[in-house]
Each structure stands twice: as C-alpha cells, then as structure tokens.
Structure 1
Amino acid sequence: MTQNAALLEDAYKHAMRRVVSPVAVVTFPTAGRPGGLTCTAICSATTQPPTLITCVNRKIPASASMIEAGTFTVNFLKDDQSDIARRFSQVENSEDPFSVGHWSVNAAGAPVLLGAASTFDCMVERIEEVGGHYVFFGAVAAVQSCDGTGLLYRDGFFRRLAIE
C-alpha cells in the first residue's frame, strides 16, 4: 500500500533532511564567466570506470550551462569552507562567487578549488531527466585530494564531523 502522493512527498523531504550529505561546489566552463552551484546530491556511481552522479534542478540556469559545457568539476568542500558553499548557493548573487577561495582552471576550462577535500574533473557521459532534475553521469578524468575533514549538510545546516 502506498501513501497519498502529497503525503509521501512531504514525508520523503522530511526524512531526507535527516540524512547527512557531503557538500560540494560543482563548477563548469561557460562562454562568459565560469559557472558553479552548491550541491549535496552527489555520489559515486561506480569505480569501473570511475563515475560520479550529480543531480541538478532543471529550473536553475546552471543546469542548461552544464549540459552545454559537457564537462564539470565536483569540488567537495572542507569543513572550514562553508563560506564558499553559501556563496555558490545564492542564485541571485550579484557578487562573483569565485572571489571566495583560491581557484585554478583544469584542462577542460572548469574551475578547480585549491585546497578542497577532493576534486573530480568529469566529462558528461549521460544525462537523465528524473522529475524536476537532471541526473548527470560524469566520467571521472582526473582526481585530486588533500587532508582535512569534509563539510556536511543536515537538516538545513552545515555540519562538521566529530570524532567519537
């Protein structure tokens, strides 16, 4: 027996807010200034070949730019980089979000955050439309990582990992 669709959606959203997610800034080259957005819907799909999945709302302009670019970089943030996550999560931000943090550019033209916990340069392999989102499958072309604890997101707040 399934729940009423509206009740199920509300229960789903409520339950998913309880799930801890890593926080990343997904960046991509564009004809103008580079683009980017804060994302928590990212996971490894497979290691053979290395592939990441990221989900992006179809309503935001960044989704069309990612499709056009054909490439993106997933910059998983460290727990002291929440200011970068906030900057890239503001859709109507008039300030250049790349003015926070130290950035370089990879061979495909996508910005790479120096000092991120991990970065994955990806080529778009496939895009699926699911509900109101695009699901991007990114074939990983290059990886970098450094020491540090990743930034987490749960219940509307950024979180830090506590060692037990």
Structure 2
Amino acid sequence: MLAAHKAGPDRQEGLSMDKQEFRGGMSRLAAAVNVITTGGAAGRAGFTASAVTSVTDEPPTLLVCMNRNFSGAEAFAANGVLCVNTLGAGQEDISNTFAGRMSGEERFSVGEWETMTTGAPALKEAAVSFDCEIRDVVEQGSHKVLFAEVKAVRLGSDAGGLVYFNRNYHLVR
C-alpha cells in the first residue's frame, strides 16, 4: 500500500494534470506491442496493449492493463486466463486488428492461433507468448489492472520486436 503524500512547497493541493498533456507525454514512452487474448467457456476475446510489464519472477507474474469498457472484459473475467502475445517485426496488421472495431471472434481471423497450457489463444508467430492464469484484478481510473501468473512461455522468432512510440510503430532489432 502506498503511503499518502501531503502537499508541500513543491506540490500544490488540488493540482491536476491535463489529460491531453499526459497522453502526449505517454506517447513518448516506447513500449512493446502485445495482443492479449483469452479463451474458454466464455469464448475468445482479445485486445492490443502496450501496458504490460513483469512484476516478479517468484511466482512469475505479469501486469496487464485493460480498459474497463472493453467489450471482451467479461470473457477475461469468466475465463480467468490470458495470453500475452508480444508482436514482432511486420505484425502491425495483427495489432491494428485487435485494436480495431471488429467483434471478439472476428479478430482471430488474422494470424495463426493455437493453445498452450491454459487454453487462451497463443499466436503461433509471436516473438514470445506468455500463457497465464489471472490471479488478481485492481480497478484504477478507466482501467483494470490484471495480475497474471505465467504458466508457460513459448519463444518465437528473434527477427526483431515491434514497439509503439510517438503514436507510430517502430522496429527494434
């Protein structure tokens, strides 16, 4: 739990950040492009995310941020599993499909999919896939923060990574 901070000489009480200024700053924070998927009795769903990071290796856990208004959020909650599919060079079309307006199952028309340990869809050509069970969910503002314990990892091609920076895709070799 974070300790509460009091306003001091360097911080004014009630100071708020402009939403557009914050988003502009965040656009300069380069991040890997991931497609987060779920599968199970509640069906398949997925979305594109750059807000993914490791939390700990004991047990191996990832943090994934998902917009609470995402139409597939209920499938993630009901299935209790997810797969973080980190995209590589040349996979912008997959990112755009999962970020677009297609419905849940239609999104899986791009790429080749299989399952690993949990049954969540894993992209065969991903740079890496982390197959996970959701252990905890914390709601913060417009998002749900999913803490997911990694059950299996599959390494793909080492052809380069896909990152999002300054509102554009870039390749990392």
Paired with 2:91 and 2:20, the residues of 1 have a C-alpha distance of 30
Q: 2:43·2:75 contact (CA, 8 Å) conserved in 1?
A: no
Give CA deviations for 1:115-164 in whole Å, capped at 9, x if unaligned: 21110001001100111110000000000112221110012211112x6x
Paired with 1:65 and 1:23, the residues of 2 have a C-alpha distance of 21
Q: Which residue of 1 aligns with 2:3?
A: none
Q: Which residue of 1 aligns with 2:79?
A: 69
2:92 partner letter: S
Q: 1:63·1:134 contact (CA, 8 Å) conserved in 2?
A: no
Paired with 2:118 and 2:56, the residues of 1 have a C-alpha distance of 22
Q: 2:36·2:49 contact (CA, 8 Å) conserved in 1?
A: yes
Match of 2:162 among 144, 151, 161: 151
Measured on the aligned residues, the alpha-carbon RMSD in Å equals 1.9
Q: Which residue of 2 aligns with 1:160?
A: 171
Alignment coverage as a number of residue pairs: 161
What runs of 5+ residues in structure 2 fail to find an aligned partner?
Answer: 1-10
The two structures have a TM-score, normalised by structure 1, of 0.89
What runs of 5+ residues in structure 1 fail to find an aligned partner?
Answer: none
Q: 2:54·2:63 contact (CA, 8 Å) conserved in 1?
A: yes
Give percent identity, aligned residues only. 33
The structure that has the greater radius of gyration is 2
Task: Return the offset for 1:32.
Answer: 6.0
Task: Return the offset for 1:11.
Answer: 2.5
Q: 2:31·2:163 contact (CA, 8 Å) conserved in 1?
A: yes
Equivalent runs, 1:91-106 vs 2, <5 Å = 91-93=101-103, 96-106=106-116
Q: Which residue of 1 aligns with 2:52?
A: 42
Task: Return the offset for 1:43.
Answer: 0.5
Do the aligned partners of residues 95 and 120 (structure 1) sit closer, same or farther apart at CA in structure 2, a change above 3 Å counting?
closer
Equivalent runs, 1:10-159 vs 2, <5 Å = 10-31=20-41, 33-93=43-103, 96-146=106-156, 147-159=158-170
* Secondary structure class of the residue paired with 2:72: helix
Paired with 1:116 and 1:128, the residues of 2 have a C-alpha distance of 27
Give CA deviations for 1:21-67 in whole Å, capped at 9, x if unaligned: 10010010144651111111100111111100000010111222211
2:63 partner letter: I
* Secondary structure class of the residue paired with 2:161: coil
